Amino acid sequence: MLYTNNAIQDVVTTRDDGISATTQDNIGKNLEYGLGINASFKITPHWQLNSDAAIFSRKISSGLKVDRGNTQQKTSWRFNATNVFTFPRDYSLSFISQYGSPSISYKP
């Protein structure tokens, strides 16, 4: 479980002239919890597959001002896989794949 209070996040505002300005501010709280699994497989003597997956729920609340407060919650997941091929003379080649489902972020 991960809990953060007064999380520092980017705050994007649009000025009257249409230009966006990005600043950082302590605007929110973040609660994240879930389940993860890691696995490693020796496919052949020269091929190793390492992977991990996680499913998690995240609840965030932000509020730069009382009248602009915002609370969101969403369940998301992520997956990573690394293929490592070893060659003679201690050379290796790695291929990394990563995917994360849509998740939520702070909104001012």
What are the residue ranges spanned by the domains of the chain? 32-100
What is the Cα–Cα distance from 42 to 10, expressed in whole angstroms?
A: 42
With tokens 């369940």, the residue in question is: 75
pTM value?
Answer: 0.64
What is the Cα–Cα distance from 83 to 4, expressed in whole angstroms?
A: 34
Q: How does DSSP classify residue 15?
A: -
Q: Report phi then psi at 68, rounded to 5.
A: -115, 20
**Strand-pair partners of 25:** 9
- The one-digit pLDDT tens for each residue of the chain (108 residues) are 777 777 777 777 888 999 998 888 777 788 889 999 999 999 999 999 999 999 999 888 876 554 456 788 899 999 999 999 999 998 999 999 999 999 887 655
